Structure 1
Amino acid sequence: MLRERVITALVLFAVLAITLTLPGPIPFALLSGAFLSCAMWEWLRLTWGPAKPGTVFVPGVVAALALACIFLAIQFSGADAFDLVPATFGLWIASSVVWVGAILPMLTRARADAAPRNAIWSAFSWVALIATWTALNVAYTLGPLFLLSLAAVVWVADIAAYFVGKKFGRRKLAPHISPGKTIEGAIGGVVAAVALILISAQFKDTFGAALSHKWGMLGAACFGLLLAALSIAGDLFESLLKRRAGMKDSSGLLPGHGGVFDRLDALLPVLPLALLLV
């Protein structure tokens, strides 16, 4: 398992690195679109299925192909990423309102044994994934360093939460959803993410620099806290959907890692709001 996990991570890193070095926005837009289309199929397997073992989950496949067509239509419409901002601004707001106003407070009381089929969360997948794709591509247009420093906020929060929780974790954060996560780990993840933002604010063209330029260092720290909390919420939300569906992973597309949704869950609530903030 560990060997598969490492190999898959290295392959994904190599693909991303090569894509970021290619000229123009199209390679990154196609790569991110492919990943998010796969995530759509996985999301609906959890909230609209589950499909019977050994069968093709047709609604998920159709939705994934439809989403890919939407991404292609947007990308080849002739508009660049910044042209898309006014059209997607409302989508970013809608996505952020649901994550902050509905999902984040819901997680403390959500029932893990509820029926998996949920029309509301199935419909929200379209908003969340399209908002994330447009945010990703605007972030890419702002520069690879901006994009990577923004994604690093989520990665650092996740890594710090794991190690702090493993070393100091005592109190469970959401035992009904994810028994392994602790309050101490979550605090460690949030602190690490805020520290990263404040440190990266000292360097030009980073997400931290853009955030602190607009809101000041105190504002950057406060919004960093919110973004880190949302990254944890994204992870817990997918864990909740998987528990309801009785599935360990969203799929087996990424050997050793589960599915694409498993790797993107913490980014989905963060990216649209982060772009709104800068």
Structure 2
Amino acid sequence: MLKQRVITAVALLAILLGTLLAPSLWPLVVLLTVTAGCALWEWLRLTWPEPDTRWPACLAIASAVLLFCIAYFWLEAEPAGWAFALQAGINRWLLPAVVGIWVFGVTALVMQGQSSKRSGGLALSLFAFAAMIAVWAALVQIFIARGAWYLVSLMALIWFADIAAYFTGKAFGRHKLAPRVSPGKTWEGAAGGVVAATLWIWISSFWAGSFGAELYQKWPWWGVVLVSVFLAALSIVGDLFESLLKRRAGVKDSSQLLPGHGGAYDRIDALLPVAPLAMLMTGI
């Protein structure tokens, strides 16, 4: 299992770096769109009110095609007026609304926990569409506006927080964070993840063009610390929320698309709430 996980992780990293370093924007846009479509399919399989139906797959494919079309018009040399209006609407209304749901609604849901019954499936499924569109739009616009290194440095915040939370929790974990949702996660592990994210933002700020560098340009040091803590905490909420959905559905992984890693949603669960908020905080 470990060997399989390592092989898959190396392959995914190679694909990501290849698309980030490509001379065209399209390889990364294609990767983000396919990933969003797969993750949406997996999310809907967990929450759709009627289990064992083809609707999640059909809706995910249709959504991915729609995102491809939006990206095509966004990346034109002279985008149409409606494309600008759509982009402005997403940035002004959808992103803040989705972030608000993550911060207040999802956090409360995760901390409360929920039974294994598939209640509230329609609302959770509707939120899936909004959350996937928001993270896709945020990542595409961040890459267009700031470039590859900026996007990697933002993603690395989540990676370091996740790794540190895991090992800190294994070594020092005593107090359960959300026992009804994910019994293995602890407050000590969460604290380790927050510290790692804060350190990464500070270290990466010494490299021009990074997410951390822009934060330190726009915020005082104590503000950057607060932002780092908040983003790391929100990444944990994203992780716990997927655990809640899987517990409701009675499954271990969202799918088996990625050998040793589960599904696409398992890989981007922490990124879903963080990317839209990061974009709003930096004013891209």
Tell me how far apart the structure 2 counterparts of residues 256 and 12 of structure 1 sit (CA, whole Å): 12
Give the stretch that moved more between structures: 76-85 or 182-191.
76-85
Contact 1:177 1:240 in 2 (8 A): yes
- Per the alignment, residue 238 of structure 2 pairs with 234
Q: Following the alignment from structure 1 to structure 2, what is the Cα–Cα distance between the partners of residues 154 and 225?
A: 11
Query: Contact between 2:261 and 2:267, CA under 8 Å: does it hold in 1?
Result: yes
1:88 aligns to what?
90
> Is there any run of 5+ residues in structure 2 with no aligned partner, and where?
none
Structure 2 matches for 1:1-278, cutoff 5 A?
1-48=1-48, 51-52=51-52, 57-79=53-75, 85-89=87-91, 90-115=93-118, 118-141=121-144, 142-278=146-282
Separation of aligned partners in 1, 2:149 and 2:119: 39
Q: Contact 2:139 / 2:275 at 8 angstroms: preserved in 1?
A: yes
Question: Partner amino acid for 1:96?
Answer: V
Shift of 1:178: 0.6
SS at match of 1:255: coil
Residue 85 of structure 1 and its aligned partner are, at CA, apart by: 4.8
Displacement after TM superposition at 1:64 (Å): 1.0
C-alpha distance in 2 between matches for 1:7 and 1:42: 22
Partners of 2:199 and 2:141 in 1: CA distance: 24
Q: Displacement of 1:123 after TM fit?
A: 0.1
Taking the aligned partners of 1:5 and 1:49, their CA distance within structure 2 comes to 32
Q: Which amino acid aligns with 2:165?
A: A
Letter of the structure 1 residue corresponding to residue 257 of structure 2: L
Q: Is the 8 A contact 2:176 2:183 kept in 1?
A: yes
Higher mean displacement: 104-113 or 126-135 = 104-113
Percent of aligned pairs with the same residue? 47
Distance 2:166 2:87 in 1: 35
Partner Cα separation in structure 2 for residue 261 and residue 116 of structure 1: 21
After superposing the two structures, state which structure 1 stretch, 129-138 or 76-85, moved more. 76-85
Letter matched to residue 131 of structure 2: A
**Aligned counterparts of 1:190 and 1:240: Cα–Cα separation in 2:** 21
Deviation at 1:198, TM superposition (A): 1.8
Distance in structure 1 (CA, Å) of the matches to 2:4 and 2:32: 22
Are the aligned partners of 2:235 and 2:273 in contact in 1 as well (CA < 8 Å)? yes
**Residues 1:45 and 1:117: Cα distance change in structure 2 (over 3 Å):** farther
Q: State the 1:115 CA deviation.
A: 2.3
Structure 1 residue runs of 4+, over 6 Å off? none
Distance, in Å, in 1 between the alignment partners of 2:27 and 2:278 is 23
Q: Is the 8 A contact 2:49 2:122 kept in 1?
A: no
Question: Which consecutive unaligned segments of at least 5 residues does structure 1 have?
Answer: none
- Tell me the TM-score normalized by structure 2: 0.92
Report the AA paired with residue 42 of structure 1. E
